[in-house]
């Protein structure tokens, strides 16, 4: 005696295009609520392109430290919001990052941290390049003397 096969049709539910009622907002990094603290653990002191050796005049050093002192009374969020500092993150993948700095992206301690730049000179284009470590301390890597690493108006 042969049994008849039953044709069973499986119906798959149609995917729905519902929008989530929840919006996930990425929290701002903790450093933004803190005043600047600087460290030099990754400073490229021997770099011909990125070290403070590229600063030629004593007046520029004076302006740098005067402005860093002024910045130290603000929190990072105020510095980021103030146009005069041009402070923002920079991608490791920017095409104009000098090789000295690019090599640091393979350092296990900092490879997952974003680069950051800000202006601390009055009239010069020079930017300070660094990153925030896990303790919210700004690690100065070096200088971008001609502001070539990242420009919004490329």
DSSP class per residue in the chain: -PPPPP-PPPPPPPPP-PPPS----PPPPGGGGS---EE-TT--TT-TTTSGGG---HHHHHHHHHHHHHHTTS-HHHHHHSGGG--EEE-TT-TT--HHHHGGGG-TTTTTSPEEEE--SSSS--EEEEEE-TTS-EEEEEEETTS-S--S--
Q: Is the pLDDT of residue 143 over 50?
A: yes
pLDDT band at 93 (very low <50, low <70, confident <90, very high): confident
What predicted TM-score, i.e. pTM, was given to this entire model? 0.78
Q: Is the pLDDT of residue 81 over 80?
A: yes
Average pLDDT over residues 126-136: 94
Q: Is the pLDDT of residue 154 over 50?
A: no
Q: Is the pLDDT of residue 85 over 60?
A: yes
């Amino acid at each position: 005696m042969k049994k008849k096969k039953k044709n069973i049709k499986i119906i798959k539910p149609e995917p729905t295009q519902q929008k989530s009622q929840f919006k996930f907002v990425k929290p701002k990094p903790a450093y933004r609520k803190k005043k600047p603290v600087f460290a030099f653990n990754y400073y490229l002191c021997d770099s011909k392109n990125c070290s403070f050796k590229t600063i030629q005049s004593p007046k520029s050093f004076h302006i740098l430290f005067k402005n860093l002192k002024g910045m130290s009374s603000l929190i990072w969020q105020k510095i980021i919001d103030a146009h005069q500092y041009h402070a923002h993150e920079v991608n490791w993948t920017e095409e104009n990052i000098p090789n000295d700095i690019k090599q640091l992206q393979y350092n296990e301690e900092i490879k997952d941290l974003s680069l950051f730049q800000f202006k601390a000179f009055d009239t010069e284009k020079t930017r300070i390049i660094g990153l925030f470590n896990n303790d919210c301390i700004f690690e100065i890597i070096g200088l971008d003397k001609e502001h070539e690493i990242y420009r919004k108006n490329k």
